[in-house]
């Protein structure tokens, strides 16, 4: 915001990726959505979204440096902008520029994070007409896991993803700053396909809600490292079709002693790296991932925010 609370003309926001350290799908709701309990952490790795106002026409436009990213109304940035305009009556005249690093179809929350960055940017450009609670409502209307990106640290997500609470400080301290290796094969996984397949195979992959809550609560109360929290109900669904996922995760466990998991509905996976992991070990991990998944597999070394 500018001087004396005046709106600004340009706003730039970092749009972080996320990983699901714990993801329990506990059942299907009558409205077709699934209930879940998840411990989610934002990463220091992500995209950058710039919003600039002052265009001659009302409305919103989007450009992206990745041609694979749709720049039409299907993009969550523009859907979030439309929701903001409807809620505030602000006419827009805003152009968005997205610098994309988070891979598509990864389960890393890239589209949802971009949407929340757009809401934050528009709120700045418009002079902050909306409080955090209203922004959270708008975020939830755009996508189930959007509200988590209004928090700047690890959270527990419930419901279909719209109920978000910051992780207890002592537990969050065990996650913040942890080094993470994130890797994704060349293929993505459709979130809609994954949930449809899970419902078709129910209850084989569901975790009872009481058990899910008990496991999260026990980890929060204790002092166990993040590795003991790792779980993903959707891993079996994805792995049954995409065998490259479990093959690599088992190889990392057997050869490097790493407990790796898929994030969200995939296809990206992650491994928490021990303190003192050397450049030599990191290079060996990257080489092994690309040996099994191909030389164009995405790999990045980052940290939990």
Does 1 score more than 50 pLDDT?
Answer: no
Query: What is the predicted pLDDT for the residue at 7?
Result: 62
Q: Which domains does the chain have, with CATH numbers?
A: 3-166 (3.30.230.10), 175-303 (3.30.70.890)
Q: Please write the tens of the pLDDT for every residue from 100-138.
A: 999 999 999 999 999 999 999 999 999 999 999 999 999
Query: What is the predicted pLDDT for the residue at 125?
Result: 95
The Cα–Cα gap between 267 and 242 comes to 9
Q: Please write the tens of the pLDDT for every residue from 256-299.
A: 999 999 999 999 999 999 999 999 999 999 999 999 999 999 99
Could you tell me which residues come within 8 angstroms of residue 7 by beta carbon, excluding any fewer than 6 positions away?
1, 53, 124, 125, 126, 127
Residues with catalytic roles = 18, 145
Structure tokens at 103: 């891979």
The Cα–Cα gap between 181 and 289 comes to 11
Q: Whose structure tokens read 């971009």?
A: 114
Q: Please write the tens of the pLDDT for every residue from 190-228.
A: 988 998 898 888 777 889 999 999 999 999 999 999 999
Q: Please write the tens of the pLDDT for every residue from 44-92.
A: 999 999 999 976 678 899 999 999 999 999 999 999 999 999 999 998 7
Average pLDDT, the chain: 93
Does 4 score more than 50 pLDDT?
Answer: no
Report residue 6's pLDDT band, with 50, 70 and 90 as the boundaries.
low
Q: Please write the tens of the pLDDT for every residue from 130-150.
A: 999 999 999 999 998 999 999
Structure tokens at 241: 């079709």
- Torsion angle of C-alpha atoms 114, 120, 122, 128, degrees rounded to 10: 170
The percent of residues in the chain predicted with pLDDT above 70, rounded, is 97
The Cα–Cα gap between 106 and 20 comes to 12
**pTM of this prediction?**
0.93
Query: What is the predicted pLDDT for the residue at 92?
Result: 79
The Cα–Cα gap between 84 and 92 comes to 9
């Amino acid at each position: 915001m500018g001087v004396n609370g005046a709106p600004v003309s340009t706003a730039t926001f970092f749009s972080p990726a996320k990983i699901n350290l714990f993801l329990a799908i506990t059942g299907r709701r009558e409205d077709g959505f699934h209930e879940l309990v998840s411990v989610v952490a934002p990463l220091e790795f992500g995209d950058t979204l710039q919003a600039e106002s002052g265009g001659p026409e009302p409305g919103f436009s989007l450009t992206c440096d990745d041609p694979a990213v749709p720049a039409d109304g299907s993009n969550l940035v523009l859907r979030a902008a439309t929701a903001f305009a409807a809620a505030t009556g602000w006419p827009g005249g805003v152009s968005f520029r997205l610098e994309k690093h988070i891979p598509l179809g990864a389960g890393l929350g890239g589209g949802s994070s971009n949407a929340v960055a757009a809401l934050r940017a528009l709120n700045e450009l418009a002079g902050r007409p909306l409080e955090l609670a209203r922004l959270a409502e708008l975020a939830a209307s755009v996508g189930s896991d959007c509200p988590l990106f209004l928090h700047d640290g690890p959270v527990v997500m419930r419901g279909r993803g719209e109920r978000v609470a910051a992780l207890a400080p002592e537990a969050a301290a065990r996650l913040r700053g942890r080094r993470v290796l994130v890797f994704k094969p060349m293929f993505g996984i459709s979130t809609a396909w994954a949930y449809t397949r899970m419902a078709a195979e129910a209850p084989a992959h569901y975790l009872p809600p009481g058990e899910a809550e008990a496991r999260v609560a026990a980890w929060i109360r204790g002092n166990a490292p993040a590795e003991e929290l790792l779980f993903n109900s959707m891993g079996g669904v994805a792995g049954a079709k995409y065998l490259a996922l479990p093959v690599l995760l088992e190889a990392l466990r057997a050869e490097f002693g790493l407990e790796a998991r898929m994030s969200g509905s995939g296809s990206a996976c992650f491994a928490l790296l021990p303190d003192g992991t050397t450049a030599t070990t990191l290079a060996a991990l990257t080489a092994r991932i690309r040996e099994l998944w191909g030389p164009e597999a995405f790999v990045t070394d980052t940290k939990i925010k």
